[in-house]
Amino acid sequence: MAYSPQHTDQEIFDEEVVRKGKVLLEVLAGVGIFAAVLMSSIALVRSSASGPAVQASAKTPLSSVAFTAPGAAAATAAAAVPVKTEDLKVVAEYKRGPEGTKHDAFTQTNFTVKVGQPLRLRIDNTDTAPHSITSPQAGVNITVQPGTHTYTLVVHEAGHFTWDCILECDPWAMTHIGYMSGYITAT
């Protein structure tokens, strides 16, 4: 920086003070950001150590977790939860109702899930028509196509819900729990 001759010593001194002050502020800001990242990382490690993901975080060396972005660490912990798979079937005229007539049914009609955790359903629909597991209250609507396919059931709030098959099949079965209707319990 060139100074014109009319600059007094005081002016030069003042400019120097301002310049050094800015540098100091930048350094302080940098330290502050670093400290914030470090503290949030430590908080994350501590909270995950006391939560359900104890095993996942215990296996990860502390040094590699401490400087990972909080979002990435959370995603790793969520991916470590194993997804359960249940096998069931849809069979036409599977079981008798109280009146003695055989009715269409799912071989399993009660499903229990953890809120937000997917449950895989491998369903062999041996019927020629599609059926469904539908519960607007639970936010679930699975169309079960003929053949064996895997579907994902996820419920985002806790509750005890009923579901029905809404694709026209056996009218009696569609309104009876244990046939084309059942429960979803999310805890």
The smaller minimum CB distance to Cu ion, of residues 138 and 176, is found at: 176
In DSSP terms, which residues pair with 88 in a beta bridge? Answer: 123
CB of 129 to Cu ion, least distance (A): 7
The number of residues that bind Cu ion (CB under 5 A) is 4
Please, what is the minimum distance in Å from the beta carbon of residue 83 to Cu ion? 26
Of residues 65, 140, 155, 169, which one binds Cu ion by CB under 5 A? Answer: 169
Binder of Cu ion out of 106, 123, 131, 179 (CB under 5 A)? 131
Which range of residues in 13-21, 35-43, 112-120, 177-185 is near Cu ion by CB under 5 A? 177-185
Choice between 113 and 180, CB closer to Cu ion? 180
Comparison of 44 and 163: residue with beta carbon closer to Cu ion: 163
Residues that bind Cu ion (CB under 5 A): 131, 165, 169, 180
